[in-house]
Amino acid sequence: MSICHSGLTQRVYGKTVSIIVAQEHPLIRLANALSWETLAELVMPDLRMTAKKKWWVGRPLSLRVHLGAYVLQQLFNKTDRQTEYGIKDNAGYQLFCGKDIVKKWNCPDHTKIEEFRSRLTAETQQKLANQLTRVATQLGFAKAEQLDIDSTIQEANMSYPSDVNLLGKLTAKVKKVRDYFMTHVKPLCPELPEVDLKKVKSHIRDYFFKKPNNIQDKQSLQRKLWHTVCTEVKQTLRFCENFEEILIESKLPWNIRTAIIQIKEHGKKYLLDVSHFIRKGTIQSGKILSFHAQAVSCFNKNKLDRRLQFGRNFQLGRVFGNFFIVGRCETVRQEDKKSMQSMIKLHQEWFSGTTLESVTADKGYYSKANEKALKDAQVKKLGLQKPIRKKTNSDNGVSEKLVNRRAGIEPLIGHVKHLGQLGKSRMKSDKTTEASGYAAIMGFNGRQLMRYLMEAAVP
| Domains of the chain by residue range | 26-119, 122-158+296-453, 163-280
Residue 22 — φ and ψ, nearest 5°?
-70, 155
In this structure, the strands spanning 297-299 and 143-155 are unpaired
Q: What is the pLDDT of residue 390?
A: 57
Residue 321 Rama label (left phi>0; alpha psi -120 to 50; beta): left
Q: Report the C-alpha gap between 361 and 384 in whole angstroms.
A: 5
Among 409, 366, 325, which residue's Cα sits nearest to residue 382?
A: 366
C-alpha closest to that of 315 among 443, 132, 134, 130: 130
- Say which DSSP state 352 is in: T
Residue among 97, 89, 77 at smallest CA distance from 27? 97
Q: Alpha helices, DSSP H only, in 185-214?
A: 197-209
For 395-423, give one letter per residue: b (16+ CB within 10 A) or e.
eeebeeebeebbeebeebbeebbebbbbb
Rounded to whole angstroms, the Cα distance separating 122 from 127 reads 9
Determine the pLDDT at residue 34: 96
CA triplet 137, 141, 142: central angle to 5 degrees? 55
| DSSP letter (8 states) at residue 132 | H
Q: Is 322 left (phi over 0), alpha (psi -120 to 50) or beta?
A: left
Q: Which pLDDT score, from 0 to 100, does residue 439 have?
A: 96
Q: What is the pLDDT of residue 355?
A: 86
**pLDDT at res. 117:** 95
Per-residue confidence (pLDDT) for residue 153, from 0 to 100: 95
d(CA 96, CA 394): 55
pLDDT, residue 249, reads 66
Can you tell me the distance from the alpha carbon of 365 to that of 195, in angstroms, rounded to the nearest whole number?
51
pLDDT mean values, one per 10 residues, the chain (459 residues): 89 90 95 96 93 84 96 96 96 95 94 95 97 96 95 94 94 94 82 93 90 81 94 92 72 89 93 93 90 92 81 96 95 93 94 91 92 89 82 65 92 92 92 96 96 86
pLDDT of residue 184: 86
Quick check: 417 and 399 in contact, CB under 8 A? no
Specify whether the backbone of 377 is left (phi greater than 0), alpha (psi in -120 to 50) or beta: alpha
Closest of 240, 238, 242, 230 to residue 195, by C-alpha = 230
Q: Look at residue 203 in the predicted model and tell me its pLDDT.
A: 93
Are 58 and 126 in contact by the 8 Å Cβ rule? The answer is no
* Cβ contact 281:287 at 8 Å: no
Answer left, alpha or beta for residue 196, where phi above 0 means left and psi between -120 and 50 means alpha.
beta
- DSSP lists the bridge partners of residue 383 as 360
CB 403 within 8 A of CB 383: yes
Residues 6+ apart with CB under 8 A from 308: 298, 299, 300
CATH superfamily of 122-158+296-453: Ribonuclease H-like superfamily/Ribonuclease H (3.30.420.10)
Q: Can you state the angle between helices 163-184 and 197-209, rounded to 10 degrees?
A: 170
Rounded to two decimals, the pTM is 0.91
Helix (H, G, I), strand (E, B) or coil at 126: helix
